[in-house]
Homo-oligomer: A and B are copies of this chain.
């Protein structure tokens, strides 16, 4: 009931980028700012590009920028892409031992709890975070 590290990193990266006004973020820069293991961070940035959140330019002074409008990226979307919630589960509703004709006893309370969480996460976009937490690039710490 907690995010895994990879997802935590991804949210940290996207949240950081969303609340600054740089026009390009290199892996090296993000590594310095966010204290995420360097090589793992790079791999994750590539993944975030493949997932369509970022686009990369591997050129001098290159790095990563958002591939779409911040309004279009909500937190549930990021979590789903990274944790593959839809893909992993044999049961469309979330649990391996939960099958259609003999559902898991915990199915209903769990899904109720989970859907409330997902609702909140879906309603929060990176644009919302930017609005709330934007950091002035001049006194950028």
Contacts and interface: CB of A to CB of B under 8 A. Distances in A.
A1 to B, nearest CB: 5
B12 A1 contact: no
Contacts of A16: 105
Number of chain copies forming the complex = 2
At the interface, is chain A mostly helix, strand, loop or mixed? helix
Contact of A12 (B7, B97, B116, B119): B97
Given A1-B79, A1-B85, A95-B8, A113 B106 contact: no
Interface size class of A (residues with CB under 8 A): 35 or more
A104 interface: yes
Interface of A: 1-3, 7-8, 11-12, 15-16, 18-19, 34-35, 75, 79, 83, 85, 88, 94-97, 104-106, 109-110, 112-114, 116-121, 124, 128-129, 133
